Chains A and B, each alone.
With several copies, the nearest count.
Chain A
Amino acid sequence: MGAVKLLFVVQRPPYKSENPRLALTHAIASQTAEIYMDEGDSVVPTVVLVGDGVLNAVKNQQAMKLYGVTSTESHIKNSLLIDMPIWVCKEDMARLGLKEDQMITDAEELGAELKTKFVSYADIQKEMESVKHLLFF
Chain B
Amino acid sequence: MKLAAFLSDWRRTEDSLERIKAEKLGVILVGNGIYHAVIKEGGKDSPVLSKAGATFYALSDDLETRGYTAANVNSKVKLISYGDIVDLIMSEYEKTAWL
What residues of chain A have their CB less than 8 Å away from a CB belonging to chain B? Answer: 9, 11-16, 50-52, 55, 58-63, 65-67, 71, 73, 95-97, 102, 121, 125, 128-129, 132-134, 136
Contact = CB atoms under 8 A, between A and B. Distances in A.
A133 B93 CA distance: 12
Contacts, number: 84
Query: A-B pairs with the 6 shortest C-beta distances?
Result: A58-B67, A16-B32, A62-B64, A11-B14, A61-B67, A60-B67
A71 B9 CA distance: 19
B65 A62 contact: yes
B16 A11 contact: yes
Given A12-B14, A16-B9, A128 B66 contact: no
A52 B43 CA distance: 15
B26 to A, nearest CB: 14
Contacts of A59: 67
A63 B10 contact: no
A123 B85 CA distance: 30
B39 interface: yes
Contacts of B95: 128, 132-134
21 contacts: A9-B16, A11-B99, A13-B32, A16-B31, A51-B14, A51-B15, A52-B10, A52-B14, A58-B66, A58-B68, A60-B67, A61-B64, A62-B65, A62-B67, A67-B65, A71-B65, A97-B39, A97-B43, A121-B19, A125-B20, A132-B95
B11 A52 contact: yes
Interface in B1-40: 1, 3, 8-11, 13-16, 19-21, 31-32, 35, 39-40
Contacts of B32: 13, 15-16
A73 B67 contact: yes
Contacts of A67: 61, 65
B96 interface: yes
